[in-house]
Structures are given as structure tokens and as C-alpha cells.
Amino acid sequence: MTLTTYEQAQGKGQSALRTALLDTASGLLVDEGPGALSMRRIAAAAGCSTTVLYTLFGGKDGLVEALYIEGFARFRRRFETVHDDDPPGYLWALGRAYRDNALAERNYYGLMFEKPIPGFQPSPEALRAAGETFDYLERAVRACLDHGRIAPGDPRVIAESFWSVVHGVVSLELAGHLSDPEAVFMAAITACAPRFEPGAHPDDPKEGTCPAVS
């Protein structure tokens, strides 16, 4: 007999159960749209009672917020695995980790950035949790600046420029618009932000530097 999602997770503790239910809900959102995010529909898909969902999340609004926070938490956990002693190399690796995580967590990525649920507004606490993810990129840029590895500039603007490039390519890839996603990803970052390339120096005479880092 095949065990339900709930039965598979309930013996592993509340954290595992919570994650399994969020994965079920995020999958329903992608496959069936926001109308599927009812407590009854999620409970049926997971094989549990609605009481379990209400106990863990308090209601639909709490569940949707938990989905949003979980998506960014997974980004942070992926960023925490990135290590590189070279500041530009570290920033470059964060960009690749961003793409890898987005591809691995497609169900969450749309909820985090595309506002697929009408009327949903993250709470201040959720927005702070999301902002902590971006902090990794800004700290990496500051390290590059401190070591003289990129041209001077506002670290937040530079970090947001880098994020925009990566996010744009990843979004097009997830939508199926790119013929060779890996090649486009590498070309886009190299063309727009060559001074983020590992081992690069702000005095390198490279073409295509974007205004934020020139």
C-alpha cells in the first residue's frame, strides 16, 4: 500500500511534516493555480485532515506566508553552502547557486517573485526574511570592493544589478524561452558584469561592462 505524503512525513517530526505539506501546497499551486490552495484541497492531496493544516499554519493566509518564507529559506540554505576565498569568485558562485536553487525549487520560485496568489502581501517579518537572502549578495560585493577587485560604486546598486541579471536569465529559462540556458547564463553575466568573474580586476580592459560596475 502506498503511503500518503502525510503518513510518510508524520513519523519524522513536525519540521519534516511541515515541509512535506508546504511542498504539496506549492505543487498544487503550480499544477492547478491559486484556486487549489484551499485547506480542504491541500489536505486531500497530502492525505491528512484539515485540522493538521490549521494546527501548523493557522489558516490559508498563514500557509501562503509559510510558502513564501520557505522559498527564501531554501535560497539562504543554498547560499550557505557556497565557499570561495576569492571575493569575485564567491560572488560568481552565489550567482550560480541562485540559478541552481531556482531550478531545483521551481514551485517556490514563482510564489516568491511572480505574485501568483491574488491579494497576497507578505508580512513585514516575511519581507525581512526575504531580505536576508539578498544580504549574501551585498556582503559579497562589499568584500570585492574592500579588496579592490571591482571598480568603486554603491554596493547595493552593484549587488542589485548582479541579482537582476541572474534573475532575468533564470526567469526566462524557467519559462522555457532559452535555447541553451547554460550558455545564455554564462554569456549574460560575463557580458554585463565581467569584473565579477573570478580572478578579474577592475583595471582589466574587458568589453560590455554594465553601468553599475564601470
Secondary structure element (H or E) that encloses residue 169, with its range: helix 155-174
Q: Give this prediction's pTM.
A: 0.81
pLDDT at res. 182 = 94
Task: Let me know how long the chain is.
Answer: 214
Place of cell 506566508: 65
Q: Please tell me the predicted confidence (pLDDT) of residue 152.
A: 84
Write down the pLDDT at residue 3: 78
pLDDT of res. 198: 43
Tens digit of each residue's pLDDT, the chain (214 residues): 677 887 788 778 888 999 999 999 999 998 999 999 999 999 999 999 999 999 999 999 999 999 999 999 999 999 999 998 988 889 889 999 999 999 999 989 988 888 888 889 999 999 998 999 999 999 999 999 998 888 888 999 999 988 999 999 999 999 999 999 999 999 888 775 545 544 444 344 344 344 343 3
**Rounded to 5 degrees, what angle do the CA atoms 105, 28, 60 make?**
100
Long-range contacts of residues 201-210, Cβ cutoff 8 Å, at least 24 apart: 201/149, 202/148, 202/149, 202/150, 202/151, 210/161, 210/165
The per-residue pLDDT for 209 is 40
Q: How many CB atoms lie within 10 A of CB 96?
A: 14
DSSP conformational letter for 59: S
Contact indicator for 179, 127 with CB cutoff of 8 Å: no
Domain with CATH 1.10.10.60 in the chain: 1-58
Q: Are 39 and 60 in contact (CB under 8 A)?
A: yes
Amino acid, res. 186: M
What is the CATH class of 1-58? mainly alpha
Contacts of residue 3, defined as CB under 8 A and 6 or more positions apart, other chains included, come to: 47
pLDDT at 192: 59
The dihedral region occupied by 60, where left means phi > 0, alpha psi between -120 and 50, and beta the remainder, is: alpha
CA 186 to CA 32: how far, in whole Å?
Answer: 33
Which residue spans of the chain are classified as CATH 1.10.357.10? 61-213
- According to the model, what pLDDT value does residue 118 have? 85
Protein fold of 61-213 = Tetracycline Repressor; domain 2 (1.10.357)
